[in-house]
Amino acid sequence: MVVMAFGVYVHVPFCARRCDYCAFATWTDRHHLTTRYLHAVVAEARAAVEAGMAPVTSVFFGGGTPSMVPAEDLMAVLDELPLAPGAEVTVECNPDNVDGPLLATYRAHGVNRVSLGVQAMVPSVLVALGRTHDEANVRRAVDLVREAGFPTFNLDLIYGGAGETLDDWCRTLERAVELDPPHVSAYALTVEAGTPLADDPSRHPDDDDQADKYVAADEALTAVGLACYEISNWARSGHECRHNLLYWAQGDYLGLGCAAHSHRAGRRWWNVRTPERYCQLVEAGGPAEAAGESLDAETQRLEGLQLALRTRDGVPMGSLDTDGLDGLVEVRGRRVVLTRAGRLLANELSTRLR
């Protein structure tokens, strides 16, 4: 029997410190809610299963900092889900929180992928980003992940922070590559409204600088066998993140927890943002949904092309106006794929989809 891809995202909204660039639904002063919150997420998961949840092919615990909360309590959520055989289960971890018992608990409950929030490997850049770990912590965390027997893991990097030179970024890439990761995500720092970063134009990233750093990342990562399969993601064959592939393919997924988003058959919806309100609604036996929208067929089609354009499979011939795009796109079979130079202009090129 063929199992259709179906994902579950679990949002953990607790952090030790909020980064200046972060606009996610996370809090540093709500740790007293941890037990209550995770009980509510278990209840929301249980209700979804009772309503007929499909076999789950991927689970992603994100945040926030999932590795901050007690591992057994977090895994109680996973234990509620009807996992399909071979399901991918990822937990985002801060290198500061990683230790042997934590990882052993994850493995015992079926977690098979860890995503480490590294961001940078240069002390001054880490300080500028508001991160508390250092390079030694990252190396220690990677060693522990390998010792615990995880079949794959990811290093999450960010480039373009204030004061980060191109040499700094190249040092981060060099040190990351030394760890021989099977997957690397490298994201350009973006300015989100309402964040301290947004309020300080002197710290805003420079587009040309970020373009240079993207090229450096692609060169360094592809040189060691990590293929770019989505604009910001590189992996060895077989180590692509299946949960993210589901998003890029417009697949169906359920979000559990406050502010979590869901999608099914062209309808999107999202839960209430604050953990207090989320707990109140779930404890009262009702849904935690805040709002939603249904997409018409044309909107779904266009969004599907926009997502596909970001991937190495590209879009079907004829769906992108390629006039004057020499050097930015190439034809592979009957599909049009962005080149490295094209990936730098993906947002602009997506306006030419038809």
Rounded to 10 degrees, the C-alpha dihedral 41/46/51/57 comes to 80
The answer to whether the bond into 225 is cis (omega within 30° of 0) is: no
Domains along the chain with CATH numbers:
6-247 (3.20.20.70), 308-354 (no CATH)
Predicted confidence (pLDDT) per residue in 157-195, tens digit? 999 988 999 999 999 999 999 999 999 999 999 888 888
CA atoms within 13 A on the CB side of 321: 9
pLDDT, average across residues 82-95: 97
Token representation of residue 117: 């929030």
Handedness of CA 295, 24, 59, 275 (dihedral sign): negative
DSSP sequence for 42-60: HHHHHHHHHTTPPPEEEEE
* Polymer length in residues for the chain: 354
Predicted confidence (pLDDT) per residue in 323-347, tens digit? 999 999 999 999 999 999 999 999 9
3-7, 70-74, 120-124, 131-135 — which is least confidently predicted? 131-135
The pLDDT of residue 54: 96
Predicted confidence (pLDDT) per residue in 276-331, tens digit? 999 999 999 999 999 999 999 999 999 999 999 999 999 999 999 999 999 999 99
Residue pair 141/181 in contact (Cβ under 8 Å)? The answer is: no
Nearest Cα residue to 115 out of 134, 101, 97: 97
Helix (H) or strand (E) holding 294: strand 289-294
The pLDDT of residue 277: 98
Q: How high is the mean pLDDT of the chain? A: 95
Task: Please determine, for residue 1, whether its predicted confidence score (pLDDT) is greater than 70.
Answer: no
Under the banding of pLDDT at 50, 70 and 90, the label for residue 2 is low
Cα separation of 159 and 147, whole Å?
29
Left, alpha or beta for 265 (phi > 0: left; psi -120 to 50: alpha)?
left
Predicted confidence (pLDDT) per residue in 230-257, tens digit? 999 999 999 999 999 999 999 999 999 9
Cα separation of 35 and 33, whole Å?
6
Tokens 């934590």 belong to 102
- A 10 A CB-CB count for 71 gives 21
Cα separation of 26 and 16, whole Å?
10
Task: Please determine, for residue 40, whether its predicted confidence score (pLDDT) is greater than 90.
Answer: yes
Predicted confidence (pLDDT) per residue in 42-60, tens digit? 999 999 999 999 999 999 9
